[in-house]
A and B are shown apart, each in its own frame.
Chain A
């Protein structure tokens, strides 16, 4: 008992027991113990845990659906192969049309839309609908993957929690990417890639405020996923040893092939999707079923195209198929995925992209092994590099592609070939397809979302592009008014910069005449209307300079090595002129 309380008096709320606990808990989240930023960080952990658990349940749901609909064999019976994706397509279409209209597609651009258009709000019904329809479509054999939906689950859960916790609009916008990272990290068992993807594709910048939350959320979700699904890498890759620099030539060929393959896939998908969408409304009920039937027909002979296809990727990496069979599988998967995705069947594009990459890489590797036996070894490393190559060409998130391959295989040895091949495929894809896949999909859906790739390409204007030479030399604070007046006469400068113990200061030039009439021997420091002016550096962004300028007529641009030496000056006039010049050049 604390001092001043008698035994019979009621206990204070913080003294212990359930009431005390309740009070402490209340204070923890009501702002008296945790600041808003700290609460956001804590919430990110909770989101990560939710995201991880949801993804685990999603994976179990997909696999259970597959057992139920297709059986346990990797080569299902013909009747199941034909019926399962067709009937599932009908059910999915019905659910989409009647109950969950927002679950079409992969989920990545929907998450971006939530961030940039809907203030981070994603209806929770979308999460439920996405879970059900994707489990059914992917489990029944539609050629789609579970990763992009997982990203949307994470974002949806984060959004729901953020709304329940009544986060501010700014925080609510940030919470969806935090959840997206959690979902993707758990789906791929790859936290670094998930963080990179969210930064590269959803947020677009390395803001410290959100980076910490994205990281902890991804780590929390991966921890949960590994606990339930095991911590083994997604693929078991045969050992690879880089033998000779000439080997890189083979990967250059793979990069070029992968680049053009990606372009073909993108063109096919992006042209088929709006055409199918424009068909009469009733056809939307049968389109996924028709796609499912066609995929079933393909799968009668090539069951490898069913579902995400991870088991077959594993087999391809272990030299199970000859090169022309691998090439055939890559082409068939391209068709199957285009069919599934273009008809609006919910599901992701990551896994099909990886599948096509593995098969194409294996095919190129197998062919090169025949033509140049000394140059190439096993097909496995080519399949692995092909995976990253197609990721770079189709998804167009190059850093994510490189790190994802390293993370999902647990093998660092292929990093150099991966970088070479991915870079080539990325450049080819950019040359022939202006907008990245997810941005183009958003535009097809009538949403104008910022393209992170375009943002990365933007060159910000810098202070050096706008600053001008200062025509009157800067004055020392102890110089007399008369001296300064004589010095600056005829310079044309309307604002006089003074350097003194206070740093940089300044005053209007007109003040000199008045002050000279009163007391010409007074130090010029006495005229300074502004002291401690912020200084700029030539390499700083103009946007940042504009914020510092406020209502000041000029700011000094100084050398980074010596803040006392003036390099130039910058005012509002100069900034406007610089922007005008850029505009004129653009026209």
Chain B
């Protein structure tokens, strides 16, 4: 025990330093490091290691317990949501989030529940927090886009929709991306942004799988966006996949009709009518198509006699229409109708079957006058009979002659 004894002496003055003193009582020099310090350090390191192990076990057990609690509360929240108790569900989801603060899934679920409960601002705050950590999450972007759309912030909604389109879904990504794009298209269309909607629609249509229902849906969206040629192509794809698909046939008919292709329109609409009864609007399109085709004086393959007969009928229909339509004297169109009536009266003596067969210029003048008359009458007095509507359509697509 000579070593400890030596260590108890002050190195400076040699005085004895009491065991519990930090410095020499005589000269105040710091106590020389001794074996007791080594022992204390060894003991400390041992205790540190023991505490580390104990904390590790305790921490693991505690976190496991927290995870279980988070799961329990999440499940309870889902059940309460399903049972239609949104407030209770929100409390449960908040509890779940308190025990699993790093879980984006729980926070997203809470945000969705808040949106469902109409607490948009609160939901948005949660979603923005999530977005900060996961800007590439398609789900978070989509929810933010919907909130912005509800708020009427078009620019922000489009930005988040785009973020969602380029983001990542946890599962079923292709289908969800498609749904998101569809939602974006509907949003753009609803806000009159037809060009952006159309470009998104084209991407949407190009990415569709060979599913007739989806193709018909895309065709419908394209049709609504006013892109009749793309809509027709989409309906044709659906018909190719399922030749008797009534919706596809009707869609193709409507698109053909809008493009002025009444032959195809009649063809598709008749086929559609064979598969399932047509709705009133589509049925009227079929009638109109048939009427157009039956009145068209420029239709291919007509004999001179048939063409002349159609011209006479068209002229007669136009005269009847003009006679039935008399705008009030204050209406600016009254002068136009008067002018048309005068021109018709001038032409009337020449409008004979023989003249029309021999004089193509006269034929064109008669048809031109009839078309002008129908168009002016439609503008002044409304659509008129089916024949009148058919002649207005013919005026639109055949004016200036042609095949």
Contacts and interface: CB of A to CB of B under 8 A. Distances in A.
B48 A30 contact: no
A168 B22 CA distance: 5
A228 B58 CA distance: 10
Interface in A61-75: 63-64, 67, 72-75
B98 A311 contact: yes
Contacts of B30: 36, 167-168, 171
B99 A236 contact: no
A5 B65 CA distance: 61
B55 A57 contact: yes
A29 interface: yes
Interface in A310-334: 311, 314-315, 317-320
B121 interface: yes
Given A29-B38, A165-B37, A239-B132, A74 B22 contact: no
A237 B129 contact: yes
Which residue among B37, B56, B124, B132 has the maximum number of chain A CB atoms within 10 Å of its CB? B37
B230 interface: no
B279 interface: no
A232 interface: yes
A232 B101 contact: yes
A25 interface: yes
A71 to B, nearest CB: 10
B316 interface: no
Given A30-B34, A53-B51, A74-B94, A165 B41 contact: yes
Which residue among A60, A232, A317 has the maximum number of chain B CB atoms within 10 Å of its CB? A60
A168 B98 CA distance: 46
A119 to B, nearest CB: 8
Contacts of B91: 73-75
Contacts of B95: 72-74
B201 to A, nearest CB: 32
Interface string B96-139: 00110110000000000000000001101110110111000000
Which residue among A36, A50, A320, A380 has the maximum number of chain B CB atoms within 10 Å of its CB? A320
B101 A53 contact: no
A230 B56 CA distance: 13
Interface in B44-76: 44-45, 48, 51-52, 54-56, 58-59, 62, 65, 69, 73
A128 to B, nearest CB: 14
A341 to B, nearest CB: 25
Contacts of A49: 48, 52
B40 interface: yes
A318 B125 contact: yes
A164 interface: yes
A53 B62 contact: no
A317 B125 contact: yes
B151 to A, nearest CB: 13
Nearest to B102: A232
Interface in B1-58: 22-23, 30-38, 40-45, 48, 51-52, 54-56, 58
A57 B48 contact: no
Contacts of A31: 32-33
B102 A29 contact: no
A57 B58 contact: yes
Interface string A42-54: 0000100110011
A228 B52 CA distance: 10
B62 A60 contact: yes
B128 A238 contact: yes
A26 B38 contact: yes
A473 interface: no
B55 A56 contact: yes
Contacts of B132: 238-239
A25 B59 CA distance: 32
B94 A315 contact: yes
Contacts of A468: none
B69 A72 contact: yes
A237 B40 CA distance: 45
A526 B13 CA distance: 41
A161 interface: yes
Contacts of A56: 55, 59
Contacts of B51: 50, 53-54, 57
Nearest to A172: B22
A567 interface: no
A378 B34 contact: no
B140 to A, nearest CB: 12
A165 B37 CA distance: 5
A46 B48 contact: yes
B102 A230 contact: yes
Interface string A351-379: 00000000000000000000000000011
A320 B128 CA distance: 14
B11 to A, nearest CB: 10
A379 B121 CA distance: 10
A50 B48 contact: yes
A366 to B, nearest CB: 10
Contacts of B34: 30, 166
Nearest to B94: A74
A243 interface: no
A319 B121 contact: yes
A478 interface: no
A169 interface: yes
B33 A46 contact: no
B37 A238 contact: no
A167 B21 CA distance: 9
B3 to A, nearest CB: 10
A163 B35 CA distance: 14
19 contacts: A29-B41, A46-B41, A50-B51, A64-B62, A67-B65, A161-B40, A161-B44, A165-B37, A166-B31, A166-B40, A168-B30, A169-B22, A228-B55, A228-B56, A230-B102, A239-B129, A378-B121, A378-B128, A379-B125
Given A25-B42, A26-B35, A165-B40, 10 more contacts: A25-B41, A26-B38, A36-B30, A75-B91, A171-B30, A228-B55, A229-B59, A232-B101, A317-B125, A318-B125
Interface of B: 22-23, 30-38, 40-45, 48, 51-52, 54-56, 58-59, 62, 65, 69, 73, 91, 94-95, 98-99, 101-102, 121-122, 124-126, 128-129, 131-133
Interface of A: 25-26, 29-31, 36, 39, 46, 49-50, 53-54, 56-57, 60, 63-64, 67, 72-75, 161, 163-169, 171-172, 228-230, 232, 236-239, 311, 314-315, 317-320, 378-380
